[in-house]
Amino acid sequence: MADSKKFITRIILLMVVAVILTLWLVSLALAKRDAIIYPSNIFIGGVSVAGLNHNEAGDLLAQRLPASYGRQLLLQLPSKQLYIPLNQVGIAYDIPATLTQIDVSLNQKGIGVFQHSITRGNVRRVEPEIKWNRTLMEQKLTELKATYDQPAVNARILYSNDYLEYIGHKVGYNISIVASLDEIDNSLQKGLLGPISLITKDIHPRIKLEDIKEVKDMLGISTIRTNLPHTDLNPLIQALNGYIIMPAEHFSLAQVIKPKQIKSNNSSLTLVNSALYQAISQAGLELTDNQLSCTNNLQHPILINAVIDGNNIIIKIFGCQTEAGKEIVIITEKEEIPPQVQIKVVKKLSPQERVIVQEGQSGFTSRNYRIVKINGKETERTILSEEHTPGRDTIIAVGPGTIKK
C-alpha cells in the first residue's frame, strides 16, 4: 500500500515537471519570437501589429494610425469644442519611439520567461507616443485667444412705457496660454488627443443682476427744450441711456463718450450736461468739478434714462428710494383753448348772408409736472415742460350791413 502511494506521487511529480518544462520551452520559444515578431495581443492606437516585425509594424502604423487614432486635436472651451488639424500645430505620431517602448518592455531584463505565455491572452492596448511643436501650438492658442476670449457682459436695465426690465449679466473668460500649453503637454505625453480643456480665467462683470434689483424708483427728472438738430444730440443721448452708476463710482459725461469716440459740439455737450445734472442733483448724488461730474454717494446703483421727445431732452434717474413714504411721479395736464371767431365782410355777399369759411379747432397747452409725494400727499410740484398746440380760428364771411355777432 505504501509503495503504491509512492508510485502515484512520483507519477504526479513527473507530470508536473513535464508541464513546467513544456511551458518553459514554449515560453522560451515565444520570448525568442517576441524579440523579432510582435505577439497577437498588442494593439497600438487601435491598430493590431500581430505577427509583424519592427519595420513592418512601423509601415502599418504610418498608414493606419491617423485614421484609427485621430487626425485632429480636440480642445475644450467652457461652451465650445474646437477641432484642430494635427499638422497645424506640429503634432505627429512618433512611431519609432512607440515601437521602441514596446520592444524594451518585451525584452527587458527581469521579465520572467513564463510571462510570454501567461500574458498571451491579455489584450495590451498601447497609446502611441506623440511629438509636438510648442512654438506652433502657442501660435495657434494666440489665434484662438483673439477669436474666442469672451468679455464679461454687464447686467442692464431697459426702461420702456414706465416699465423697468432687468437683463442678466454674463461672466466672460480669457484663455491662459501658458497654463493651457502645460495642460496640452500633459495630455500628449499620455498619448491623448482630447478632449483637452483649455485653462481659462473668469472675467467678472462690473454690474451683476443681483446688484440692480433694488433699482425701481424714480429719484429725479429734468426736461430741457432745444432747437438743436437731433443728429447732434442722438450720439450723446444714446451713450447715456441705460448707463448705470454703481455705489461710490465717479461719473462724468466725458468718461461715457470718450471710449465710444463720440464727436459732439460744445452746444450739445452743454445742453445735455445741464439736463443730466439737474436730474442727478434731484436724486441726491454728490456733484463735483463745477457740476461736470458726480459721485454716487448712495447705497444703491443709479440708472440714467435719456431720450429725446420732440424738441425736449428728458433725463430720468432711477434708484432705490430710501426715504420712507416718498414717491416721485410725472403727470401731464392738458388745457383746451377754444377757437376764436373772426368775422370778415365780403361785399359780394348779400346783407344778412353768412358763410363759414373755416371751421374752428381748439388748441391745447400740455404741461408736464414733477410731483413729490410723502405718504401719498403732494408736497412739491415742479413744471418740467410746456407744449403749445395752436388751434384754428373760426372764420365767418358776412355781407355788408350784417350785424356782427
pLDDT at 21: 58
Taking the CA atoms of 159, 238, 277 and 371 in sequence, report the sign of the dihedral they define. Answer: negative
pLDDT at 109: 46
Domain ranges of the chain: 2-69+93-130, 137-209, 214-321
For cell 500645430, the residue is 89
**Joined grid coordinates for residue 393:** 380760428
Best-predicted range by mean pLDDT (12-21, 176-185, 268-277, 371-380): 176-185
More confident residue, 10 or 198: 198
pLDDT surpassing 60 at residue 117: no
**Joined grid coordinates for residue 15:** 507530470
From its phi and psi, is residue 58 left (phi > 0), alpha (psi between -120 and 50) or beta? alpha
pLDDT at 154: 95
Interatomic CA distance for residues 288 and 100, integer angstroms = 76
Span 212-238, pLDDT tens digits: 999 998 888 888 888 888 888 888 899
The average pLDDT across 187-203 equals: 93
pLDDT at 241: 93
Interatomic CA distance for residues 331 and 377, integer angstroms = 14
Interatomic CA distance for residues 358 and 394, integer angstroms = 5
pLDDT at 6: 65
Number of Cβ within a 10 Å radius of residue 347 = 6
Interatomic CA distance for residues 379 and 62, integer angstroms = 88
More confident residue, 88 or 117: 88
The average pLDDT across 93-114 equals: 72
pLDDT surpassing 80 at residue 87: yes
Span 145-189, pLDDT tens digits: 999 999 999 999 999 888 899 999 999 999 999 999 999 999 999
The confidence band for 110, taking pLDDT boundaries of 50, 70 and 90, is: very low
For cell 364771411, the residue is 397
The confidence band for 111, taking pLDDT boundaries of 50, 70 and 90, is: very low
pLDDT surpassing 60 at residue 244: yes
Q: Coil, helix or strand for 188? A: helix
For cell 425736449, the residue is 312
Phi and psi at 207, nearest 5°, equal: -125, 125
Instruction: Return the minimum-mean-pLDDT range out of 57-61, 283-287, 342-346.
Output: 283-287
Nearest by Cα to 91 from 105, 74, 106: 74
Helices assigned H by DSSP within 71-223:
95-107, 115-118, 134-148, 177-189, 209-212
User: Cα–Cα distances in Å, from 335 out to 222, 364, 378, 385, 391?
Assistant: 22, 5, 21, 14, 12
Interatomic CA distance for residues 342 and 398, integer angstroms = 11
Q: What is the helix (H) or strand (E) element at residue 12, kind and residue range?
A: helix 2-34
Could you list the beta-strand ranges (E) of 156-213.
Answer: 156-160, 163-167, 172-175, 196-197, 200-203
Residues 95-124 as b or e (16 or more Cβ within 10 Å = b): beebbeebeeebeeeeeebbebbeeeeeee
**Joined grid coordinates for residue 186:** 500633459
Cβ-based neighbours of 271, under 8 Å, separated by 6 or more = 224, 226, 228, 233, 313
